[in-house]
């Protein structure tokens, strides 16, 4: 087989990139280890920046998101038993975020790919990437026990944190930065109405909580738990009690509880791999970086990489400028480190890490950043997402 670009991984990064390239007439094959059902069963992000939304529109896959996505012009933060609102429209130049689940976006992208006729191979095994420093790299994989080969020009490693792409970059070339936090987020999805029409991030004496949503009838809630906790030990009743105990009095009684549809614990990690390009391989999304979910940046950062790689590929294939690939890593990493910093900072402010004096200082930070014009602008501009830079 032959293809201009081989995309490893059919998560949101791989599928969005594939759709954009296909639309631009750049042929690509997507290779995915899991089944489509498995990919769609993962409950993850829910908040999309305008940059992501614009890219999904450019890919021609925004019809359902435009219909069902919930525009949010504000977000709330609770601490000291009080709730404060960050007016995103006011403090981030009219910008907003869209609440629309990663599951839905992935389903829309999968459907669009099938309709476009662009090739995808699911349930592949033993993917290997070869000759990345040569003009003609190739990818080997097994499907139904048989090895197959794809000759290509470039490889996009969209295979998440545990994928093969990053590990293909020699250890002498790649540098990894990592921080693991001492808690995880226990998340519950339920068909219950959200407690508020906007997200509430909060910290209480008992720890962090987030009241989020997928629609006006489906909620997504989180509380932080120690890393030793097992999801099996959290009955629905125990979860709702814990959440209720963390909520400020003014909303406690508005909480509607119900059976969970999904329940899982996600670890909190900051991780970056530098560089994000090695010869003809580009790392995209979680394959290159992880942020703790507190800033809602994981998926949005993946889309910023997709944006840069797509525009670099347009330069290469449509303007015959192969030298354009040299800017990919530095363009991505600038934005990556900004999002890493924002997510790390939000995580520290909203969790009970450190000793008593750290907690007091974090509390004062929350007061400053949600209580002054200067502070509100700093949070709002980053929450809606920094703009993408131009690719030359």
Catalytic residue from among 138, 293, 308, 310 = 293
Is residue 321 annotated as a catalytic residue, yes or no?
A: no
DSSP 156-186: EE---TTSSHHHHS-TTT-EEEEEEEEEEEE
Catalytic residue from among 181, 201, 328, 369 = 201
Q: Which is nearer to ligand RFL, 221 or 297 (CB)?
A: 297
Give the whole-angstrom CA distance, residue 20 versus residue 202: 37
Number of H helices, E strands in the chain: 13, 19
For residue 261 the two structure tokens come to 């549809």
Nearest to 389 by CA among 314, 331, 324, 338: 331
Is 35 in contact with 120 (CB distance < 8 Å)? no
Give the whole-angstrom CA distance, residue 32 versus residue 38: 11
Binding residues (CB under 6 A) for ligand PHB: these are 45-47, 199, 212, 220, 293-294, 296
Q: Which helix (H) or strand (E) holds 138?
A: strand 138-143
Q: Which stretch binds ligand RFL (CB under 6 A): 42-50, 114-122, 271-279, 357-365?
A: 42-50
Is 80 in contact with 246 (CB distance < 8 Å)? no
CA dihedral in degrees (105, 107, 111, 116; nearest 10)? 40
Residue choice 296, 349, 380, 384 for contact with ligand RFL (CB under 6 A) = 296
Is residue 289 annotated as a catalytic residue, yes or no?
A: no
CA distances from 221 to 88, 185, 207, 259 (A): 22, 10, 14, 13
Minimum CB separation from ligand PHB for residue 285, in Å? 16
> Restricting to residues 215-274, which ones interact with ligand RFL according to CB under 6 A?
266
Is 348 in contact with 341 (CB distance < 8 Å)? no
293 sits near ligand RFL (criterion: CB under 6 A): yes
Count of residues that bind ligand RFL according to CB under 6 A: 34
160 sits near ligand RFL (criterion: CB under 6 A): yes
Give the whole-angstrom CA distance, residue 41 versus residue 237: 23
The option from ligand RFL, ligand PHB, none interacting with 34 (CB < 5 to 8 A, set by class) reads ligand RFL
The option from ligand RFL, ligand PHB, none interacting with 51 (CB < 5 to 8 A, set by class) reads none
Is residue 318 annotated as a catalytic residue, yes or no?
A: no
Minimum CB separation from ligand PHB for residue 95, in Å? 16
Is residue 154 annotated as a catalytic residue, yes or no?
A: no
For residue 81 the two structure tokens come to 């038993």
The option from ligand PHB, ligand RFL, none interacting with 72 (CB < 5 to 8 A, set by class) reads none
Catalytic residue from among 297, 308, 310, 351 = 297
69 sits near ligand RFL (criterion: CB under 6 A): no
Is 210 in contact with 183 (CB distance < 8 Å)? no
The option from ligand PHB, ligand RFL, none interacting with 294 (CB < 5 to 8 A, set by class) reads ligand PHB
Minimum CB separation from ligand PHB for residue 319, in Å? 38
Is residue 297 annotated as a catalytic residue, yes or no?
A: yes
Minimum CB separation from ligand RFL for residue 364, in Å? 27
Contact string 91-120 vs ligand RFL (x = CB under 6 A): -----------x------------------
Instruction: Show Cβ contacts of residue 113 under 8 Å, excluding neighbours closer than 6 positions.
Output: 15, 18, 19, 22, 30, 120
The option from ligand PHB, ligand RFL, none interacting with 13 (CB < 5 to 8 A, set by class) reads ligand RFL
Q: Which helix (H) or strand (E) holds 83?
A: strand 82-87
Q: Which is nearer to ligand PHB, 160 or 293 (CB)?
A: 293
The option from ligand PHB, ligand RFL, none interacting with 120 (CB < 5 to 8 A, set by class) reads none
CA distances from 105 to 17, 56, 258, 381 (A): 13, 9, 25, 24
The option from ligand RFL, ligand PHB, none interacting with 11 (CB < 5 to 8 A, set by class) reads ligand RFL
Active-site residue list = 72, 201, 293, 297, 383
Residues in the site for ligand RFL, rule: CB under 6 A? Answer: 8-14, 31-34, 39, 44-46, 102, 124, 127, 158-160, 162-164, 266, 285-286, 293, 296-300, 302
């Amino acid at each position: 087989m032959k293809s201009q670009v081989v995309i490893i991984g059919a998560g949101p990064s791989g599928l969005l990139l594939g759709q954009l390239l296909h639309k631009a007439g750049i042929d690509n094959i997507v290779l995915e280890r899991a089944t489509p059902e498995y990919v769609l069963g993962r409950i993850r992000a829910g908040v999309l920046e305008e940059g992501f939304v614009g890219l999904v529109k450019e890919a021609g896959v925004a019809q359902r998101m435009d219909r069902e996505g919930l525009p949010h012009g504000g977000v709330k933060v609770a601490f000291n038993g009080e709730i404060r609102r960050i007016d995103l429209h006011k403090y981030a130049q009219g910008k907003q975020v869209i609440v629309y689940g990663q599951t839905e976006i992935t389903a829309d992208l999968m459907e669009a790919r099938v309709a476009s006729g662009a090739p995808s191979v699911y349930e592949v095994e033993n993917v290997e990437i070869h000759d990345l420093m040569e003009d003609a790299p190739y990818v080997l994989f097994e499907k139904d026990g048989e090895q197959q080969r794809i000759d290509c020009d470039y490889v996009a490693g969209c295979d998440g944190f545990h994928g093969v792409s990053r590990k293909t970059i020699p250890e002498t070339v790649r540098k990894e930065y990592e921080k693991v936090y001492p808690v995880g987020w226990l998340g519950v999805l339920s068909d219950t109405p959200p407690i508020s029409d906007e997200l509430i991030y909060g910290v209480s004496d008992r720890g962090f909580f987030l009241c989020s949503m997928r629609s006006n009838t489906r909620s997504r809630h989180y509380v932080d738990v120690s890393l030793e906790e097992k999801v099996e030990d959290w009955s629905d009743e125990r979860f709702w009690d814990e959440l209720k105990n963390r909520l400020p009095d003014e909303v406690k009684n508005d909480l509607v509880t119900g059976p969970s549809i999904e329940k899982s614990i996600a670890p909190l990690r900051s991780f970056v791999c530098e560089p994000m390009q090695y010869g003809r391989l580009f790392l995209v999304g979680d394959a290159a970086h992880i942020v703790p979910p507190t800033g809602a940046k994981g998926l949005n950062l993946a889309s910023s990489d997709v944006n840069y790689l797509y525009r670099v590929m347009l330069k290469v294939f449509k303007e015959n400028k192969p030298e354009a690939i040299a800017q990919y890593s530095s363009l991505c990493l600038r934005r990556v480190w900004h999002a890493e910093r924002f997510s790390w900072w939000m995580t520290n402010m909203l969790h009970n890490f450190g000793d008593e004096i750290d907690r007091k200082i974090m509390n004062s930070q929350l007061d400053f950043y949600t209580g002054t014009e200067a502070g509100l602008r700093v949070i709002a501009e980053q929450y809606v997402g920094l703009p993408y830079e131009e690719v030359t």
